[in-house]
């Protein structure tokens, strides 16, 4: 076998149909778009148009709202903290806060702050500074001999996108 003998399997590649190239091609004149009108044009087509009947998205009632002041916390559980300590990514003697969690790789990003949740067990004595914590998480940290300090969450400015 030579390099010049290498070829694709038969039928593995299919050429694109060139439309609008004359009557003999089978896809001439209207080029597969049917007759005239809006649907034959490029770029415009009514989506959700129901022939003049009130469309579904307008028949259904509006509900709820988006709270522009809502804070989005990055959540971390106790078992993930213990896992990071066991892997020597976090030092239990240091203060554990959003910056140290992101730097160690336990969290991807801090978002509007960090919230500590109580799933799992904690063996190490830790000093933790977070923007929120569940009661079970605080109890577990204090049971292990550590402390949890709750920080005030950073408020968004009026101009920032929610």
Cα–Cα dist 32/149, whole Å:
67
Q: What is the pLDDT of residues 66-100, one digit of tens each?
A: 999 999 999 999 999 999 999 999 898 999 999 99
Q: What is the mean pLDDT of the chain?
A: 89
User: Counting beta carbons within 10 angstroms of the beta carbon of residue 80, is it exposed (0 to 12), middle (13 to 18) or buried (19 or more)?
Assistant: middle
Percent of the chain topping pLDDT 90: 70
User: Which among 53, 16, 45 is positioned nearest to 31, based on CA atoms?
Assistant: 16
Name residue, tokens 């101009």: 159
State the CATH class of domain 74-150. alpha beta
Q: What is the pLDDT of residues 7-44, one digit of tens each?
A: 999 999 999 999 999 999 999 999 998 888 888 888 77
Q: Where are the domains of the chain?
A: 74-150
């Amino acid at each position: 076998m030579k390099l010049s003998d290498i070829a694709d399997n038969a039928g593995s590649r299919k050429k694109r149909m060139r439309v609008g190239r004359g009557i003999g091609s089978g896809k001439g004149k209207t080029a597969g778009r049917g007759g005239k009108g809006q649907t034959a044009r490029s770029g415009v087509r009514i989506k959700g148009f129901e022939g003049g009947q009130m469309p579904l998205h307008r028949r259904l009632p509006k509900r709820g709202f988006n709270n522009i002041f809502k804070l989005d916390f990055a959540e971390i559980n106790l078992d993930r903290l213990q896992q990071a300590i066991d892997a020597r990514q976090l030092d239990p003697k240091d203060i554990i806060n959003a910056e140290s969690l992101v730097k160690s790789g336990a969290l991807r990003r801090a978002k509007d702050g960090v919230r500590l949740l109580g799933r799992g067990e904690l063996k190490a004595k830790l000093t933790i500074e977070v923007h929120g914590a569940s009661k079970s998480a605080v109890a577990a940290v204090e049971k292990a001999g550590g402390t949890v300090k709750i920080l005030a969450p950073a408020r968004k400015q009026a101009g920032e996108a929610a």
